[in-house]
Structure 1
Amino acid sequence: MTAATHASPRFTTLDEVAPLHADLVALRHHFHQTPELAFEEHATASSVAARLAEYGYAVSTGIAGTGLVASLSAGTGRRAIGIRADLDALPIHEANTFAHASRTPGRMHACGHDGHTTMLLGAARHLAATRRFDGTVHLIFQPAEERGFDSGAKRMLAEGLFERFPCDAVFAMHNHPGKPSGQMLFRSGEFMAAGDRVFITLRGVGGHAARPHLARDPVVAAASLIMALQTVVSRNIDPAQTAVVTIGKLQGGQALNVIPNEVQLGLSVRSFDPAVRALLKERIVALAEAQAESFGVTAEIDYVAGYPVVRNAPDETAFAIAVAKELVGAENVVEQMDRLTGSEDFAYMLEARPGCLVRIGNGLADAGSMLHNPHYDFNDANLVVGAAFWSCLVERYLAVDFTGDDRAA
């Protein structure tokens, strides 16, 4: 492909999308004020669908309950690209006091999905107005990314997402606190960890706190098990490998003078290697059963396989990097960032189609502004950058019928 041939279309710039900024901020603030949890995003999905229909997209709703796909074709090209954004919020009570804080107690957009959705809507509006592409774009608005298992992406795929809306490649974006706003971060290959959830119920015999010898105390068993679980990574996993075992839930008892009948533990387990993932399960189950037996209680273990590893395809990642460099400059692009031990259900889509998950810096903030924190807020400065990136990516990808790295040459 010659440079002249490839340069003939006009591709989106930041300046082109900048006039949409005020509208996008207002829209993002609306979504932030009205958060909805996994598979409950009815009002959010309805609002998104109405806007997309107004822009001229063919909108298919009710996918995985509250998911939807908006499709737009231009020219005669037969290629198709998918762009995904997530809709759901978290069960967190917001601590922010600004005007657009959540209006629903106990629910909050603490992961930036309000921003992800708004960026894709901004791109949808721009692409519909300019239509400088040759092919089909499918915009995938997915529910229940935060669920951790049996998630929105998995259900959309089970309901025939890519059979109904064929895509040659699929892309997604997630904000990244701690990096400069607008900086775009990539990694080819393994990017984000597999994430499993473990629910352990230790059952004993409750009784009076003054007569512990007549009870079988699950609290003491739980305390011992928590300490034992700290040895799984440090003493069973090769130090050259990556693994995380975090006990995030411990519940048992209500009164100081009562030994409860049971105690519940909840674990988050992260890994990249299949053998490590299997070993983590083996050791966690064995320790739970052995610790329970040693204290005369029983252990009920529900080990739930969660999201797979996010693996970015090399060609699609290289393409997205080239588009990012063109849009924001090479100095604002990190081509191979470190692996992240967080998990993402976009991994399911990447198992079905080649593609890339992109990260965008959300600003250099303190720990209180990290993801899943009650003080978090999406950085509105990213709205134009994200919308322009998606627009340019679609235009570049669907510019001509191509193969190989000359897509963004």
Structure 2
Amino acid sequence: MSEISRGTRDRIGSRADELYPLVRDIRRDIHRHPELSFQEFRTTALVRDYLENLGFEFAPRYLETGVVALLRSLNPSAQHERVVVLRADIDALPLQEENISDFCSGEAGCMHACGHDMHTAILLGTASLLSEFRHELPGDILFVFQPAEEKAPGGAKPMIEAGLFRDYTPAMIFALHCFPHIRSGNVALREGSLMAAADELYITVHGEGGHASAPHKAADPILASAHIITALQHLVSRVSSPYEPAVLTISSISGGHATNVIPENVVMSGTMRIMNEELRSTFHHRLKKTVEQVADALGVSAELDIVHGYPVLVNDAAAFGLARDAAEEMLGASHVEESEPLMTAEDFAWYLQECPGAFIQLGTGRNEDRKGDQLHSPYFDPDEAALKTGMEVMSYTAIKALARLAGG
């Protein structure tokens, strides 16, 4: 397969059409039975049974949930150290679904509101499709069905730490994700930094309580908290360059319970999103100083806890170019868009620190406006026609990547 013919693309498109009803049913089954991060036991069993029937080789269990399986080429001239990875995430969100359909979530307070049911079904369909090329592939394809993308520290990092990339040394890795702002049938890509690093911020302000009529006899943590919030926003406007995307949001504040009582403590939390790892480090240092010194100036004390989240997701230039070319050849150039940077985060970024790869945005948007049709919404309802697009793009990208590695 050093050269990829039009016939190969036609085979992929035809088989994706034929597999679509099955893959749609799989997606709906997973959607009916969502499972939270690190609790995806049913989904893990479903994926494992499906791949076992295709004759895949299974890797060790790196975590309690999730599946890693190898499609080994049966091409006599294949080089088995030549490996490309395809990844899907399998967990759901703690969210009550508000859609009305015959395959809505059957689990109270749990929903696939980020499209991971779509991703899992697409990758299973891709596994079926690519298994039909196993006598032609010049190398092997590793399928990673990863748990816990939605819950920091996520499933990617512990899988890597458990030995995923010691047992396999892939040349490239690819994944896709549903995006409702992109029309179904299209994909979008971007070279370089695509998604932000995300850290969780937890601030506790300690003061001295007292009567609200005599604030001079107390040390007011509420007033200090207001000044801390304002000061933190200056980091975005005065420390980061206007050309560097950065977001710092305090999204929760709690303190006090009565109109005439100054409380002793205030607790705040929020998030920081940055597209530059060096600036991220600078912000960590300045955040701590700002919180502590503003508090001290107002006669209280404060402590900051930063929970480090996912790193910046950076698409490798060569992998991006290959994925873009594959999408344009498979779908047509008019169906491939240039993505804008996103301040959301993804633990696929951990893989990209170990292996060159690319993250592809899969359009799931419909022509008509739909209530709340956005990620993490209780009304999220992706266009299932995107399942076919996803299978086509993932299958052809893997084939093209192996052909490129083989010198084609």
TM-score, length basis structure 1? 0.89
Spell out, residue by residue over 1:1-31, the C-alpha distance to the aligned partner (whole angstroms, 9 max, x if none). Answer: 99xx543973443232112222222211222
Q: Structure 1 pair 166/289, CA: closer, same or farther in 2 (3 Å)? A: same
Query: In the alignment, what sits opposite 1:360?
Result: 362
Q: What's the offset of the Cα at 1:73?
A: 0.9
What does residue range 193-204 of structure 1 map to in structure 2 within 5 Å?
193-204=196-207
**Corresponding residue for residue 371 of structure 1:** 375
Q: Residue 299 of structure 1: CA displacement? A: 1.4
- Two-structure CA RMSD over aligned residues (Å): 2.5
Structure 1 runs not aligned, ≥5 long: none
- CA shift at 1:230, angstroms? 2.2
**Cα separation, 2, equivalents of 1:188 and 1:285:** 33
Task: Give, as a single letter, the amino acid of the residue that structure 2 aligns with 1:139.
Answer: F
For 2:160, the equivalent position in structure 1 comes to: 157
| Partner amino acid, structure 1, of 2:194 | F
Note the C-alpha offset of 1:259: 4.7
Letter in 1 for 2:245: T
Runs of at least 4 residues off by over 4 Å: 206-215, 253-260, 364-367
In the TM superposition, residue 56 of structure 1 has moved relative to its aligned partner by: 1.5
2:328 pairs, out of 320, 325, 328, with 325
Separation of aligned partners in 1, 2:61 and 2:251: 33
> Structure 2 length normalisation: TM-score?
0.90
226 and 57 in structure 1: CA distance in 2 versus 1, 3 angstrom threshold: same
Q: Deviations over 1:199-250 (max 9, x none)?
A: 1122334456677666544333323322332222122222122111122232
Query: What is the distance in 2 between the residues matched to 1:324 and 1:48?
Result: 26
Q: Check if 1:181 corresponds to 2:184.
A: yes
Q: What corresponds to 1:229 in structure 2?
A: 232
CA contact (8 A) 1:61 1:67 kept: no
Tell me how far 1:255 sits from its aligned partner: 5.8
On the 8 A contact 1:203/1:261 being kept in 2, the answer is yes
Contact residue 201 and residue 304 of structure 2 kept, 8 A = yes
Aligned counterparts, 1:213-224, within 5 A: 215-224=218-227
Aligned partners of 1:244 and 1:269 also within 8 Å:
yes
1: CA distance between counterparts of 2:242 and 2:405?
46
Pick one of 107, 117, 138 that aligns with 1:104.
107
Aligned-partner SS, 1:270 = strand
Take 2:371 and 2:284, find their aligned partners in 1: how far apart are those partners? Answer: 31
Question: Deviation digits for residues 307-366 of structure 1, max 9, x if unmatched?
Answer: 2211111111111111111211110012x4222222211111111111111111121556
1:28 has 2:27 as partner: yes
Distance 1:162 1:114 in 2: 25
Question: Deviations 1:89-116 (Å, cap 9, x if unpaired)?
Answer: 2222222233322222222222111111
Match of 2:53 in 1: 54
Q: 1:299 aligns with which of 302, 318, 323?
A: 302
What corresponds to 1:10 in structure 2?
8
SS in structure 2 of the partner of residue 138 of structure 1: strand
| 2:396 partner amino acid | C
Note the 1:5-404 alignment, pairs <5 A: 5-7=3-5, 10-11=8-9, 12-60=11-59, 62-74=61-73, 75-76=75-76, 77-78=78-79, 79-131=82-134, 132-148=136-152, 150-206=153-209, 215-253=218-256, 259-334=262-337, 336-363=338-365, 365=369, 368-399=372-403, 402-403=406-407
Question: Secondary structure at 2:14's aligned position in 1?
Answer: helix
SS at structure 2 position matched to 1:358: strand
Give the partner amino acid of 2:52: A
SS in 1 for 2:8: coil
Counterpart residue identity of residue 82, structure 1: V
- Distance (whole Å) between structure 1 residues aligned to residue 204 and residue 269 of structure 2: 9
- The question of whether the paired residues in 1 share the 8 Å contact of 2:277 and 2:311 is answered with no
Alpha-carbon displacement from aligned partner over 1:20-77 (angstroms, at most 9, x marks no partner) = 2222222112222222222222222122111111221122353133122011112131
Task: Give distance in 1, aligned partners of 2:65 and 2:295.
Answer: 41
235 and 375 in structure 1: CA distance in 2 versus 1, 3 angstrom threshold: same
Code of the aligned partner of 1:142 = Q
Following TM superposition, by how much is the alpha carbon of 1:400 offset from its aligned partner in structure 2, in angstroms? 7.2
